Structure 1
Amino acid sequence: MSREKLIAIARDKLKALVRQKTLSYSSYGTLIDRWIVFIEFLVDRKSVLKIEDIDRETVISFGKSLTDATPAYAQNLVSAVNTVMTAFHVGAWDTVSATRECGIPRRDNVRVVPPGGMDEQEFRQAMIALDRRGLARGRVVAEAARYFGLRAKEASLMNYQEALDSALSKHQISVISGTKGGRPRDVPITNAREQLRVLEMGSAVQGSHFSIIPEDMTWKTFRIGEIEKTRATLKPYEILTIRDLRAVYACLRYQSLTGIPAPIFGGKLKGQLDKQVRKIIGEELGHSRLDVTNSYLGKNNGKET
């Protein structure tokens, strides 16, 4: 069954709900947009030929692949798939839980558990495990997430040779490719020894190409293969997602900028100072809203330093 056919079936089922006045037309459009994201996931894997082949495990795998999306958006995507599948099965679909079964954080997204990968020695052991599995590119992505706060896609599409030149001449790197919403940003060099090491490693892996993604692969195929294998290898070391390593970057920056631990580690800072630091860290991570930093740093409940 083609991609278009899978989308057409969803359109038919949801239009029936619109006619029954159990679904608004605006919701219909939103659900179709989100269903298309799911279909792209299926097409990438070439694993489903008919809508009848879509089962709960397929949807759970989709949900688990959304680690780079915000919790709200990821939950909305899974919810949309549940809605379409319920319509297709006329109510007999066993709904997949985005949080419980897919591991997507709750919408308030306040970090209550320290991120995996904080301990330098344990992180090094995880990197050795990636090397042993032949995941050199995955290691670059993991290291770039921890030492630069990059998303998996950003770290994969980075031109490390250009970034290394920029780090040496301008003491910062520019994150351009793969950014959320197409918004470029600069990340400062604040830990030169480790950050330059990561850029040198990425440059070597990149070779004559413009990124560490092999020339015969797209971002999607690279994500399905190398990135998913990398995530699976990191989990036994309590690094549950690459986003955890971005949280490590945020926590280390918080301590560097304030001299006290991040809130998730018990640090308490006056409200205004906390906001100023969060603004800096949020911009380095590619976020414009202060509340998003709660998912990296934890919530600040302190009134005094």
Structure 2
Amino acid sequence: MSKNHSSRDSRNYGFGRKLYFAFTNGLRTHFGQGHFATVQAHSERCRLFCDWLLSSHQIADARLINQEVFFAYAAHVRGLLENGDISVSTATNRISSVNVVMKILRGDTKVYISKIGKVLGEKRCHIRTMAPQGMVFEQLDPLIEELIKTNFQRVAAIIMLTRTTGMRLRETILADLPRLKREALRLGEINIQDGCKGGRSGAFAPRWIPATDMVLLAIEFAISASPPGSRNLLSPTESYVEFLRGTVNASRNILKAHGLQRFHDLRAAYACSRYQTLTGIPAPVCVSDDESSILPKSCNREARQIVSRELGHERLEVTNAYLGKKT
């Protein structure tokens, strides 16, 4: 049974004596043992908030944080944005994380900023404006070859799976590779079930992806890179977090040297390629306004719905982040 942290009279609402520890403890308590990446992201942003609280207001107890203090922090973040020190996305995320942690610690939304864009004076744009990296398969070959030569075969497998199937990083690492191969050979499509975001998995949320020759090749390579005794890319004695912190993080310099800033761009590249396969025209983000073709709204929407389902999203609007503006 989890500890009750609801005491209003205790320092940091009972989550710990130190402010930053209380923030992190609150996040871990709320999200449980999972959601490592989410907890880590919120925690790092809240560290910046803690530093600001101590330096600007000498606040070391969450009970002293009121709406006025939070708005002052938002003004500080807006200043960083206006000076060009951070992006709109970064500014939005910093305030959003404080929203999350204060709601957890307090148990209410009395210290909360609902209209973040209005406070910042600028809204985050979710629609991609530049074509993603990795659109052309052949351009990834030098990266994959170097990863293999430097004993990062499993990271090379991640690259291939993400680009050919649109799976998230966690999904590629935890995918049941023998099952995917059986489905690809017998059905001509694969069902993404393992490591899905928000618990969407199995028969309750089927997510079928066409198993092209490139998909089958990526699965077979991943099986060859999989450690002995494993059905996925983790060794039997290795946790997902250990693999991320160790092998995956150690390979990031090689990825960046080849122009790939993040794995997520390959997921966007998959989305754009699938859109072109379905419609016969490039995704809007891949061409200029002068070159873009006019596609009937019904066809455009249908293609986006298919891509959205294959990516594992419930809302069609999210697909704009990968494909660009509507045509």
Structure 2 length-normalised TM: 0.66
Match of 1:202 in 2: 222
Match of 1:252 in 2: 273
**Aligned: 1:183 with 2:203:** no
Query: Is the deviation greater in 171-180 or in 78-87?
Result: 78-87
Pick aligned residue for 1:158 from 153, 175, 191: 175
Q: Structure 2 matches for 1:94-105, cutoff 5 A?
A: 100=86
Please give the per-residue CA displacement for 1:133-167, whole angstroms capped at 9, x wherever unaligned.
21000111111100000111100001111110011
2: distance between equivalents of 1:108 and 1:78?
A: 23
The percentage of aligned residue pairs carrying the same residue is 25
Over 3 Å counting, the alpha-carbon distance change for 1:237 and 1:91 in structure 2 is farther
Q: Structure 2 matches for 1:214-225, cutoff 5 A?
A: 214-225=235-246
Rg comparison, structure with higher value: 2
| 1:141 match: secondary structure | helix
Please report how far the alpha carbon of residue 178 of structure 1 lies from its aligned counterpart in structure 2 after TM superposition: 0.9
2: distance between equivalents of 1:13 and 1:258?
A: 58
2: distance between equivalents of 1:105 and 1:117?
A: 28
Over 3 Å counting, the alpha-carbon distance change for 1:84 and 1:35 in structure 2 is farther
Counterpart contact for 2:190–2:210, Cα < 8 Å: yes
Question: Pairwise CA RMSD of aligned residues?
Answer: 3.8
- The letter of the residue matching 1:228 is N
Over 3 Å counting, the alpha-carbon distance change for 1:285 and 1:129 in structure 2 is same
Counterpart contact for 1:213–1:219, Cα < 8 Å: yes
Query: Is the deviation greater in 204-213 or in 139-148?
Result: 204-213
2: distance between equivalents of 1:194 and 1:80?
A: 42
**Aligned: 1:171 with 2:188:** yes
1: distance between equivalents of 2:279 and 2:149?
A: 37
Unaligned runs of at least 5 residues, structure 1? 17-28, 45-65
2: distance between equivalents of 1:33 and 1:147?
A: 38
**Aligned: 1:148 with 2:114:** no
| 2:208 match: secondary structure | strand
Match of 2:47 in 1: 81
Please give the per-residue CA displacement for 1:86-139, whole angstroms capped at 9, x wherever unaligned.
335554799887993898597432111111111222211111121122100011
Aligned residues: 253
- The letter of the residue matching 1:153 is R
**Aligned: 1:289 with 2:255:** no
